[in-house]
Structure 1
């Protein structure tokens, strides 16, 4: 059965973007190695350390759908119609764009519950990846998140966008991590421990 997994690159002090939504300090690990990892789009071919490349290939092959929020969709301009992961994208928004031409790969819904249901249907037996801070928080609060993958970058941003700053149901217990050490990044994969 597929899992719903939140994944983000994050600074050591807990930020996933700077105050202007910039991510340059957090994604250098995707281009600092000798192993090429192609994606579904020509403009995003990664060059990573061998360990990060293996981690990324596994993540890409295991993904079946992606959930994001309208804010990230707008910042990226909908990735030009194709997300680098190359899977269907479900966007949570109360205001879907009226003239978005890529309806074959993008679905707009107005709730996190519906997003997870639609994404699971689209993903089949592969994983659903949540790539949005607010949506990941809502999924965690609703008990819909199975795992959290953190690409921990050794930088202190000092301020910016925090990943899990507004949880309504904290504390949340996580499993011990699976750890992969890359160049200028440590990949941590946790399972969300369900309360009995």
Structure 2
């Protein structure tokens, strides 16, 4: 069975995954467009990524081993559901209090879970089979970590300081939490990819 990881999270040097009032994404995600290697996007609203060779090798390996993604309703709404399909081309499990009116049924693109993070992870694992489940940063990652459901923390650390905003594990309860590693350090252009195992 695969692991549960936050490997898609991009973070500033001062620990923010978003700046004040949902700002800073242009700075956080510059590395997705500063290279020569194209990574296709399955979303009609998100163009292909162009990253460095080191980042491309990592994305191809990890995205290829991802069977499902977990996000919150806020990100789902903020991105307008990525135009109907997440760029990673996997089924996206959306944790929400109420499913959208325009999606009365689950499908191969989006599955909606209303009964908590443990249920969302269980559903994502069932969808992923032997592959990994990727949890979006922020509230989803924090809830998974608090519930003991996270196996690995992955961040794409970018050389920018945002000075405020939303942190990766904002409001974490039950800490401290210890990690082993880094188990991987990959230097891309404008980004350092770090992976740490959650110590159980």
Shorter-normalised TM range: over 0.9
Kept after mapping to 2: 8 A contact 1:72/1:132: no
Kept after mapping to 1: 8 A contact 2:138/2:170: no
What is the alpha-carbon distance in structure 2 between the residues aligned to residue 100 and residue 173 of structure 1?
39
**C-alpha displacement at 1:39, in angstroms?**
2.5
Instruction: Within 5 Å, give how 1:13-162 maps onto structure 2.
Output: 13-22=14-23, 23-42=25-44, 43-100=46-103, 103-104=106-107, 105-110=109-114, 111-162=116-167
What is the alpha-carbon distance in structure 2 between the residues aligned to residue 20 and residue 102 of structure 1?
32
Kept after mapping to 1: 8 A contact 2:39/2:49: yes
**C-alpha displacement at 1:123, in angstroms?**
0.4
Residue ranges of structure 1 left out of the alignment (5+ in a row): none
Structural RMSD (CA): 1.3
What is the alpha-carbon distance in structure 2 between the residues aligned to residue 165 and residue 148 of structure 1?
15
Kept after mapping to 2: 8 A contact 1:149/1:190: yes
> Counterpart in 2 of 1:176?
181
TM-score, scaled to structure 1: 0.95
What is the alpha-carbon distance in structure 1 between the residues aligned to residue 95 and residue 165 of structure 2?
22
Aligned residue pairs total: 194
TM-score, scaled to structure 2: 0.93
Residue ranges of structure 2 left out of the alignment (5+ in a row): none
Moved over 3 A (4+): none
**C-alpha displacement at 1:102, in angstroms?**
7.6
What is the alpha-carbon distance in structure 1 between the residues aligned to residue 95 and residue 43 of structure 2?
23
Call closer, same or farther: CA 1:53–1:102 in 2, change over 3 Å. farther
Q: Secondary structure at the match of 1:175?
A: strand
Call closer, same or farther: CA 1:102–1:18 in 2, change over 3 Å. farther
Kept after mapping to 2: 8 A contact 1:64/1:122: yes
